[in-house]
Amino acid sequence: MTEPSKVQKIFIKKTSFGKDYSRINDLASKNKIPVSFVDQKRISEIAGGEAVSQGVAALVNETDFLDLDNFIAGLDMDKNPAVILLDELEDPHNVGAIIRTASAAGINGLIMGKHRQAPITAAVFKVSAGTAAKLPLIRVSNINNALDKLKDAGFWVMALDQDSRKSYWQQDYKMPLCFVVGNEGEGIREKTLDRADFKIKIPMKNEVESLNVSVSAALVMYERMRQVGNSK
């Protein structure tokens, strides 16, 4: 039996009813595992191939997540470490691309929430070209609490915000940094954005509103690498 701590998310078919399904839902709630009610097509996609799902599927970690406190304790703050935090990204391809770039750009770790966040699936591993197994991944119950812990440890929070007046290349990156990138459609949530020490934007021309979130993340991570080098 899989340990509850290794279960990322449980999917239950919308039309599934009965004591067994209620028990699964109750156990998930008790162990703080997110549950989504989806159609049979999504269940089949998760189960894969000819697997019999019986209306329930679960995503189980292919890699162990690190504890945030232990991760922070293991960092050398004198080397200006950097992490990237995902605020409710929904597209697994974006998550995989960001993981791959973060590893290449010398980012020390990636932080993601348990809820309303694309989990680490086989698709993420494929897009990340295997770097999802190399980059330290931290999963937290509350994104804002995680930011508070990082700030207490000496990190400065830098948010990608297209409403900012400062371009990303105008910012100093020579400090311990936590980059925050937001949801593909809604951006960074207000309470999370309020915790940012710096807000930077990617300048746009030709009436382009924004870049793909993984592209924007890549630009700032490599600007940080240009300024301070690979500190891993």
SS3 178: strand
Domain that holds residue 181: 68-228
Strands (E), 61-172: 82-87, 109-113, 137-140, 156-160
Q: So what's the pLDDT on residue 27? A: 83
Q: Report the C-alpha gap between 24 and 40 in whole angstroms.
A: 17
Q: So what's the pLDDT on residue 149? A: 97
Tell which residue, 222, 217, 232, 230, has the closest CA to residue 85: 217
Q: So what's the pLDDT on residue 41? A: 77
Residues of the chain whose pLDDT is less than 50? 1, 50-51, 129, 231
- Assigned token pair, 227: 């300024």
Q: Report the C-alpha gap between 125 and 120 in whole angstroms.
A: 7
State whether 184 and 109 are in the same domain: yes
State whether 56 and 72 are in the same domain: no
SS3 156: strand
State whether 91 and 11 are in the same domain: no
State whether 25 and 100 are in the same domain: no
Side chain identity at 206, as an amino acid letter? N
State whether 30 and 135 are in the same domain: no
State whether 163 and 195 are in the same domain: yes
Q: So what's the pLDDT on residue 153? A: 96
pTM across the whole model: 0.70
SS3 190: helix
State whether 199 and 128 are in the same domain: yes
Q: So what's the pLDDT on residue 136? A: 87
Neighbour tally for 30: CB within 10 Å: 9
Q: So what's the pLDDT on residue 98? A: 92
* CB contact at 8 A, 136 and 74: no
State whether 106 and 211 are in the same domain: yes
Q: So what's the pLDDT on residue 4? A: 65
Q: So what's the pLDDT on residue 159? A: 94
Residue 47, exposed/middle/buried by CB under 10 A (0-12, 13-18, 19+)? middle
State whether 48 and 72 are in the same domain: no
Backbone φ, ψ for residue 65 (5° rounding): -85, 150
If one counts the domains in the chain, the total is: 2
Q: So what's the pLDDT on residue 32? A: 80
